[in-house]
A and B are shown apart, each in its own frame.
Chain A
Amino acid sequence: RKEVEQDPGPFNVPEGATVAFNCTYSNSASQSFFWYRQDCRKEPKLLMSVYSSGNEDGRFTAQLNRASQYISLLIRDSKLSDSATYLCVVNLGYGGSQGNLIFGKGTKLSVKP
């Protein structure tokens, strides 16, 4: 089983739609979680951290379900500028590395006019 799994998409949605991405992780000891956004031919950029109680940042809502080992990202009122690849990222939080991040391969979102 892969450590972090995401549906690769692409998700093709109209402007204004609500879209949700899910991500599952295999290591129950994982300690912190993030969503990154990556535009074509650019570097990944932190979108938001994911907290146990769930958190919201404008049109974006992130949730964590530790029991089922999945993370979700909800985007409301999609904009053309939301088109990108969204990476789910898990931090194991232990080891000589002091916690490596494990990246999913990303889910591609395309918002159409």
Chain B
Amino acid sequence: DVKVTQSSRYLVKRTGEKVFLECVQDMDHENMFWYRQDPGLGLRLIYFSYDVKMKEKGDIPEGYSVSREKKERFSLILESASTNQTSMYLCASRGQTNQPQHFGDGTRLSIL
């Protein structure tokens, strides 16, 4: 079974802080994704990566950056956290095109 592990289930940070969310997958997948999920808005793609050191913006990249230095790890960075970034953050990985994505448990991030 694919295992996608996110570093924290719950996280509370303050406005203006730099926040790091980590994600690790154990299936040697090329593709990794970061989403946020908010009530009524569904899943929205922030950034994705299809190879080491490669990244592409998703639908809502503003206020975020990412890092993929190793194939198994994809990090999401909130450069200067704001209250509107309070959300559930979900990491996913996928192997080949046309295969489904597998999600981590999610991180509930609150920015105070």
Contacts and interface: CB of A to CB of B under 8 A. Distances in A.
Contacts of B42: 103-106
Contacts of A100: 45, 48, 58
Contact of B103 (A31, A41, A45): A45
Given A100-B48, A103-B43, A105-B42, A42 B98 contact: no
Nearest to A99: B97
Contacts, number: 54
A10 interface: no
Interface residues of A, number: 25
Interface stretch (A60-68, A76-84, A89-97): A89-97
B97 A96 contact: no
A106 B106 CA distance: 17
A31 B50 contact: no
A34 interface: yes
Interface size classification for chain B = 20 to 34
Given A43-B105, A44-B43, A106-B42, A97 B50 contact: yes
Contacts of A28: none
A97 B48 contact: yes
Interface in B48-68: 48, 50, 56, 58
A22 interface: no
A101 interface: yes
Contacts of A36: 100
Given A44-B103, A101-B94, 17 more contacts: A31-B98, A34-B100, A36-B100, A41-B88, A43-B90, A44-B43, A46-B101, A93-B97, A93-B98, A96-B50, A98-B31, A98-B50, A98-B97, A99-B98, A100-B48, A101-B100, A101-B101
Nearest 6 pairs of A and B residues by beta carbon: A105-B42, A43-B103, A32-B98, A99-B97, A103-B43, A98-B97
